[in-house]
């Protein structure tokens, strides 16, 4: 009986083996695990505010109060212009798109460390987890974007001016670019923090600095003819935020070369991130 059983050919539906190539990305496998991806999205959304009093209302409170603080500091004290856009709408729009990038970056940056217990027990494409954070944060962005539309409609009711045009078609592309940049940088940091935990501390400091080098609290026109304007131009986030306001309000500047530069940076960052992610995925359980 033992010999007979040993001679039988066994057919396997799935063979798990280490990736031989750094760019061995099986997107079909990720698609097969879409139900798991959906489950992680629900888990992240529910767990974030599960034991809070206000729950998802924090999605609205945070951008509103941040906008009010920006109005006080940058509008009233620093007297920085807003390109003719009402200050509340100007700051709220910048915070809305920035928050999505910030959430994608910080959430994916701890993929390996926070989910080591899951990775050690069951197999699934590891890329599912960082992708789930990008999609779960899309819910937060959608709520804040609806807040932006609501405040814009209220201001339009007061002033009689509200823009809806073809430029709005740029918004999904800009959100996708923000998601790609946040995902790429996040998985780079996540790959490095498996061995060097200092990178996670550096991230929180770096994100704060990046906020002030991105035109969230000021328009790019304010930097015209200033000596440090060239340094801001190197930030791939700058054209995306500026174009987001242009798409939504039809005010500001649209720089195609700047968007192409941002797209090129996103492709390079995603490439580096995927290479590091695939490399660390093979043996990260030995270092976490």
Per-residue pLDDT at 282 exceeds 80: no
Please report how the helices 34-48 and 128-159 are oriented relative to each other, as an axis angle in degrees rounded to 10.
60
Per-residue pLDDT at 24 exceeds 50: yes
Residue bearing the bigger pLDDT, 92 or 254 = 92
Measured at the CA of 110, the angle between CA 104 and CA 113, to 5 degrees, comes to: 160
Confidence class for position 15, pLDDT limits 50, 70, 90: low
CA distance 76 to 88: 12
CA distance 65 to 171: 24
Summarize pLDDT for 169-208 with one digit per residue, the tens: 999 999 999 999 999 998 888 888 877 766 777 787 888 8
pTM: 0.83
Per-residue pLDDT at 7 exceeds 50: no
Per-residue pLDDT at 285 exceeds 60: no
Per-residue pLDDT at 244 exceeds 90: yes
Mean pLDDT of 74-102: 92
> What tokens appear for 20 in the block?
């031989």
């Amino acid at each position: 009986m033992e010999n007979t059983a040993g001679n039988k050919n066994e057919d396997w539906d799935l063979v798990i083996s280490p990736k031989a190539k750094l760019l061995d990305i099986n997107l079909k496998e990720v698609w097969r695990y879409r139900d798991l991806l959906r489950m992680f999205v629900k888990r992240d959304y529910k767990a974030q505010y599960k034991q809070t009093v206000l729950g998802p209302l924090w999605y609205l409170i945070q951008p509103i109060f941040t906008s009010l603080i920006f109005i006080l500091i940058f509008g009233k004290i620093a007297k920085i212009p807003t390109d003719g856009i009402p200050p509340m709408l100007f700051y709220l729009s910048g915070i809305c798109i920035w928050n999505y990038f910030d959430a994608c970056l910080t959430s994916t940056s701890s993929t390996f460390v926070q989910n080591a217990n899951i990775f050690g027990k069951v197999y699934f494409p590891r890329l599912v987890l960082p992708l789930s954070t990008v999609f779960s944060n899309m819910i937060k962005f959608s709520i804040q974007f609806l807040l932006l539309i609501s405040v814009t409609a209220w201001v339009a009711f007061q002033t009689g001016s509200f823009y809806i045009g073809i430029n709005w078609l740029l918004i999904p592309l800009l959100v996708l670019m923000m998601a790609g940049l946040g995902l790429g940088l996040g998985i780079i940091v996540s790959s490095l923090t498996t061995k060097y935990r200092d990178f996670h501390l550096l991230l929180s400091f770096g994100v704060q600095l990046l906020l002030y080098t991105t035109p969230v609290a000021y328009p790019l026109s304010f930097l015209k003819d200033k000596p440090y304007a060239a340094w801001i131009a190197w930030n791939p986030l700058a054209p995306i935020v500026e174009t987001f306001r242009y798409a939504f309000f039809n005010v500001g500047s649209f720089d195609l070369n700047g968007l192409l530069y941002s797209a090129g940076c996103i492709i390079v960052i995603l490439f580096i991130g995927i290479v590091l992610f695939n490399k660390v995925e093979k043996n990260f359980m030995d270092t976490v």
